[in-house]
């Protein structure tokens, strides 16, 4: 996937310092304005929806214009939420820095030279010093650790799955992990009592192979020659959204072939009869929808489906269209069960638990498992193989220079007891 974006040229001396200092202030003000707009829209949504629910209770139906208004406000909340998320990511993005520092690491200087001019001789000479790993000219070069860290940090900020899952960095192409599926027996005994022999734990060996994820940002050679922007920050910013979108799709529904195995690809079984290797689900009792009389009951049952030790760190996961449905629900005391975040960069909540919006989760439909709940840090493992490789290509898309950037990522469920699903079915 190609994405073209020009690198910014930094002005000189005082004007450069002024622009760098102004960015955080401007970002903070924009976030505050976006938060205020979101809060105002949410208040209007609650008022309109309260009126709609009152009309349904009194007349068994609601005015069409009022229903349309509620939907418009609901859609506006989605758009404002995306805007607030984008502003928060931009504010957290590594700032572009000038290139006038007198103290520049040897590895960073060599890497910058390769990105700007294509000269990899300095990178190749650093291989023996363990500052960089060179590969042949057709395969590109492995980025320095600082560059890889910057890309990983930017990716974590943009990926909802990474924000709630466990991430393990490995040096091999496949990560293998023994998991105790049943656990060992235990008991009590006095100081001199004979201890009964306990059963051996039931171990399962799970494998997480890493597939290759790639992106191809572009810049003009003129700007590479003339710009003084931090190339590491530029590259991290360019690949962030592309990598995050591809990763999230794989973490959700990937088949495990040259990519992570997604949550939705595992067998789904009614929770009371689910065994290791299967994700247990709770049924809503209505095919393709929530129950009309008590829509919240199924969500409450889902919360109590995992064992107590998994609930303290649990989160909900669903897409924005499912969130839009749930946003209208109230509890028995008349309180909305969905609440917006009180702080930029923090997730909204559902019945007191954080809610991660993952666009690749399935829509509500007949037999769909559209909502997941549980402790994803215990339940889902993301495997990052060390090393981000970049191949500079000035020939394929003249006058642009392409940067074929690859990263190896794997993933899958590591504890099937930690995550449960809500299935929109009668049973």
DSSP for 74-139 reads HHHHHHHHHHHHHHHHHHHSPPP--S--S---HHHHHHHHHHHH---HHHHHTGGGTS--B--TTT
Q: Are residues 295 and 362 in the same domain?
A: yes
pTM of structure: 0.77
- For residue 155, the tally of other CB atoms under 10 A from its CB is 23
Confidence (pLDDT) at 44: 87
In a domain, residue 195? The reply is no
Q: Which domain holds residue 124?
A: 105-182+201-427
Q: Quote the CA–CA distance of 161 and 380 in Å, as a whole number.
A: 9
Q: Are residues 256 and 373 in the same domain?
A: yes
Number of domains in the chain: 2
In a domain, residue 192? The reply is no
Residue 25 sits at the vertex; the CA angle it makes with 23 and 27, to the nearest 5 degrees, is 65
In a domain, residue 231? The reply is yes
Q: Are residues 144 and 257 in the same domain?
A: yes
Confidence (pLDDT) at 184: 54
Residue 314 sits at the vertex; the CA angle it makes with 290 and 206, to the nearest 5 degrees, is 105
Q: Are residues 120 and 254 in the same domain?
A: yes
In a domain, residue 427? The reply is yes
DSSP, res 264: G
Q: Are residues 56 and 146 in the same domain?
A: no
Q: Are residues 84 and 109 in the same domain?
A: no
Q: Are residues 37 and 126 in the same domain?
A: no
User: Looking at 165-247, which runs of residues are DSSP E strands?
Assistant: 166-170, 174-180, 203-209, 211-220
Q: Which residues have C-beta within 8 Å of that of residue 18, sequence separation ≥ 6? A: none
Q: Are residues 288 and 369 in the same domain?
A: yes
Last residue of a domain, one of 67, 92, 117: 92
Task: Note the pLDDT tens digit of each residue in 145-191.
Answer: 888 888 888 888 888 999 999 999 998 889 988 877 665 566 777 77
**Of the segments 108-122, 185-199, 321-335, which one has the largest average pLDDT value?**
321-335
Q: Are residues 113 and 88 in the same domain?
A: no
Q: Are residues 81 and 118 in the same domain?
A: no
Confidence (pLDDT) at 204: 77
In a domain, residue 98? The reply is no
């Amino acid at each position: 996937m190609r994405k073209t974006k020009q690198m910014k040229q930094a002005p000189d001396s005082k004007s450069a310092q002024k622009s760098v200092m102004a960015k955080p202030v401007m970002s903070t003000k924009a976030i505050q304005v976006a938060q205020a707009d979101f809060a105002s829209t949410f208040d209007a949504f609650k008022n309109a929806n309260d009126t709609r629910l009152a009309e349904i209770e009194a007349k068994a139906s609601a005015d069409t214009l009022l229903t349309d208004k509620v939907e418009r406000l609901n859609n506006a909340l989605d758009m404002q939420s995306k805007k607030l998320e984008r502003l928060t990511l931009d504010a957290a993005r590594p700032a572009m820095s000038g290139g006038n520092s007198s103290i520049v690491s040897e590895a960073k200087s060599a890497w910058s030279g390769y990105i700007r001019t294509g000269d990899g001789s300095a990178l190749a000479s650093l291989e023996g010093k363990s500052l960089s790993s060179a590969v042949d000219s057709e395969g590109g070069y492995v980025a320095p650790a600082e560059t890889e860290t910057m890309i990983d940090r930017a990716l974590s900020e943009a990926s909802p799955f990474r924000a709630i899952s466990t991430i393990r960095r490995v040096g091999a192409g496949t990560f293998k992990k023994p998991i105790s599926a049943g656990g060992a027996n235990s008991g009590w005994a006095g100081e001199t009592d004979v201890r009964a022999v306990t059963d051996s734990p039931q171990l399962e060996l799970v494998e997480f192979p890493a597939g290759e994820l790639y992106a191809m940002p572009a810049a003009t050679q003129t700007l590479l020659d003339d710009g003084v922007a931090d190339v590491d920050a530029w590259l991290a910013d360019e690949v962030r959204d592309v990598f995050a979108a591809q990763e999230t799709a794989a973490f959700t529904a990937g088949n495990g072939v040259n990519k992570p195995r997604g949550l939705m690809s595992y067998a789904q079984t009614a929770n009371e009869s689910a065994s290791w290797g299967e994700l247990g689900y709770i049924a809503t009792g209505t095919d393709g929808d929530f129950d009309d009389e008590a829509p919240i009951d199924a969500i409450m049952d889902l919360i109590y489906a995992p064992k107590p030790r998994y609930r303290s760190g649990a989160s909900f996961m669903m897409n924005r269209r499912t969130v839009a449905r749930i946003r209208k629900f109230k509890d028995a005391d008349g309180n909305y069960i969905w609440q917006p975040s009180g702080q930029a960069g923090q997730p909204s909540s559902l019945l007191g638990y954080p809610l991660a919006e993952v666009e690749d989760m399935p829509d509500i439909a007949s037999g769909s498992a559209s909502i997941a709940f549980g402790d994803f840090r215990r339940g889902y493992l993301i495997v990052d193989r060390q090393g981000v490789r970049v191949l500079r290509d000035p020939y394929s898309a003249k006058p642009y220079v392409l940067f074929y950037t690859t990263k190896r990522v794997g993933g899958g469920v590591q504890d099937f007891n930690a995550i449960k699903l809500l299935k929109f079915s009668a049973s």
